[in-house]
């Protein structure tokens, strides 16, 4: 069965610093992979998705993620953090007709 592991339940960065949120997946078949963001008291918003095209995927708000099959990873990055990036981020893998989510990483941005 497909599964997702997000390393680090909390990540803290300074404004302007690199953001790196880690995600490793377990899948028996080539997966579709997603990153979603959740702001307080809101639903999930799609940041980006990998669907077996280019391995480097660019998303909204300056985020990107690289699919590395050899490492079974799909880490999310942003070159320069902004205060508005503070939120919870979820990595997810497709599994048939559903998504399997990781436990989430809360990103804190310090001024």
| Identity of the residue, 77 or 101, whose beta carbon is nearer to other proteins in the bound complex | 101
104, 107, 108, 109: which one contacts other proteins (CB under 8 A)?
Answer: 104
25-64 residues near other proteins, rule: CB under 8 A: 32, 34, 36, 41-46, 49, 51
| DSSP character string of 48-85 | EEE-SS-SEEE-GGG-EEEEETTTTEEEEEESS--GGG
Residue 46 · residue 38 · CB < 8 Å: no
Q: Which residues bind other proteins (CB under 8 A)?
A: 4, 32, 34, 36, 41-46, 49, 51, 90, 92, 94-104
């Amino acid at each position: 069965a497909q599964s997702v592991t997000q390393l680090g339940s909390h990540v803290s960065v300074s404004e302007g610093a690199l953001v790196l949120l880690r995600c490793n997946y377990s899948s028996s078949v080539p997966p579709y992979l997603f990153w979603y963001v959740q702001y307080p008291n809101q639903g999930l918003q799609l940041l980006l998705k990998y669907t077996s095209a280019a391995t480097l995927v660019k998303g909204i708000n300056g985020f990107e993620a690289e699919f590395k099959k050899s490492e079974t990873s799909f880490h999310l990055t942003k070159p320069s953090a902004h205060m508005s990036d503070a939120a919870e981020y979820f990595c997810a893998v497709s599994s048939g007709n559903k998504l399997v989510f990781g436990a989430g990483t809360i990103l804190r941005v310090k001024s």
